[in-house]
């Protein structure tokens, strides 16, 4: 046994010779050393994997925090913009128009070669807006007017739309809907908008007759959802008559608007409407003419 130990020591605890076979102690030592190296290598790999996993998790958490912070910033900015939109709408819109005017002036100056034909296109021949864009401009202009009560800004905003889009027709259709079915604040601001547009001669008869005629014709159906529709429509028609946007002849000459046929649909509501109109204009100088034309 001692001899074997000495031989193992002389051989450096390694296998002596291939023909002698493996030495027990040397094999055990080499096996233990190999296991230790493998274990340490596995530990290092495991530690590296854990470190990579921790780094990946921390990066994901940081990205999530950045997304949440950016989302909060965007929401807060949008909320602040919504809150300050009405208070600064006039200034922003005026600045945008000035910028558009300046940019168009620079563009025309760069494209002009001192020829009489190189002139900016007129508004009537400007590029036609889509219906959705024109309707959105009409809606946003009315909303802005309801907050600011700025007549000049209302006209300037609507005049940016090409004439071929008939934006004032869209505006009056929205006004009719807000007067008939809206709240008191919307109704009052819409009536004020009619006065502002009529003062600048922006509302023409052809812009209002379609929406107003359809409203009077189907007044009975509207009253189902809006019981006060007769009173609201009477107020709307009265304002249009006072501002001379429409005339009394248009009301009486159009058979589908009169209520003189008791068998026609909605005759009761139209009769009530004409009675309210007659009482509204009772104290006006042209009351006699009005009453004579509104009788049925």
Identify whether residues 191 and 224 lie together within a single domain: no
What's residue 53's pLDDT? Answer: 81
Question: Quick check: 38 pLDDT over 70?
Answer: yes
The last residue of a domain, from among 202, 229, 244: 202
| H/E run at residue 15 | none
The string of pLDDT tens digits covering residues 155-204 is 999 999 998 889 999 999 999 999 999 999 999 999 999 999 999 999 98
Extract the runs of DSSP E, i.e. beta strands, from 139-236: none
Domain boundary among the residues 156, 184, 202 is at 202
Print the domain residue range for 12.
1-32
What is the model's pLDDT at position 91? 46
Residue 187's nearest CA partner among 148, 221, 229, 227 is 229
Q: How far apart are CA 274 and CA 254, in angstroms?
A: 13
Are 250 and 204 in contact by the 8 Å Cβ rule? The answer is no
- Do 192 and 208 lie in one domain? The reply is no
213 and 296 belong to one structural domain: yes
Q: Do the domain assignments include residue 3?
A: yes
* Structure confidence at residue 95 (pLDDT): 45
Q: What pTM value is reported for the model?
A: 0.56
**Does 196 lie in the same domain as 167?**
yes
Using the 3D structure, point to which of 202, 226, 253 is the last residue of a domain.
202
Give yes or no: residues 213 and 286 share one domain. Answer: yes
35 pLDDT higher than 80: no
Based on the domain organization, do 187 and 150 belong to the same domain?
Answer: yes
pLDDT of residue 57: 84
Task: Look at residue 116 in the predicted model and tell me its pLDDT.
Answer: 43
Residue 105 belongs to a domain: no
On whether both 181 and 261 belong to a single domain, the answer is: no
Banded pLDDT at 36 (limits 50, 70, 90):
confident
Tokens of 263: 């068998």
Within-domain flag for 27: yes
Same domain, 142 and 191: yes
């Amino acid at each position: 046994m001692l001899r074997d130990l000495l031989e193992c020591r002389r051989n450096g605890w390694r296998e002596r010779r291939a023909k002698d076979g493996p030495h027990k102690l040397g094999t055990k030592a080499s096996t233990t050393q190999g296991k230790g190296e493998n274990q340490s290598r596995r530990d290092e790999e495991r530690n590296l994997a854990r470190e990579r996993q921790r780094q990946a998790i921390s990066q994901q958490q940081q990205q999530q925090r950045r997304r949440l912070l950016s989302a909060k910033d965007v929401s807060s900015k949008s909320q602040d913009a919504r809150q300050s939109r009405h208070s600064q709408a006039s200034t922003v819109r005026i600045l945008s128009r000035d910028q558009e005017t300046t940019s168009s002036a620079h563009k025309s100056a760069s494209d002009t070669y001192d020829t009489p034909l190189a002139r900016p296109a007129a508004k009537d021949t400007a590029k036609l807006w889509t219906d959705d864009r024109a309707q959105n401009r009409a809606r946003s202009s009315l909303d802005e007017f309801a907050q600011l009560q700025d007549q000049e800004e209302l006209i300037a905003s609507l005049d940016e739309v090409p004439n071929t889009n008939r934006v004032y027709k869209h505006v009056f259709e929205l006004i009719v809907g807000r007067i008939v079915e809206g709240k008191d604040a919307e109704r009052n601001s819409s009536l004020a908008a009619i006065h502002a547009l009529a003062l600048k001669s922006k509302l023409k008869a052809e812009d209002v007759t379609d929406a107003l005629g359809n409203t009077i014709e189907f007044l009975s159906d509207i009253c189902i959802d809006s019981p006060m529709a007769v009173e609201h429509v009477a107020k709307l028609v009265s304002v249009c008559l006072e501002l001379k946007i429409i005339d009394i002849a248009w009301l009486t000459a159009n058979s589908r608007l009169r209520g003189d046929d008791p068998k026609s649909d909605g005759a009761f509501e139209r009769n009530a409407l004409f009675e309210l109109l007659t009482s509204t204009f009772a104290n006006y100088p042209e009351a006699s003419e009005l009453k004579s034309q509104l009788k049925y």
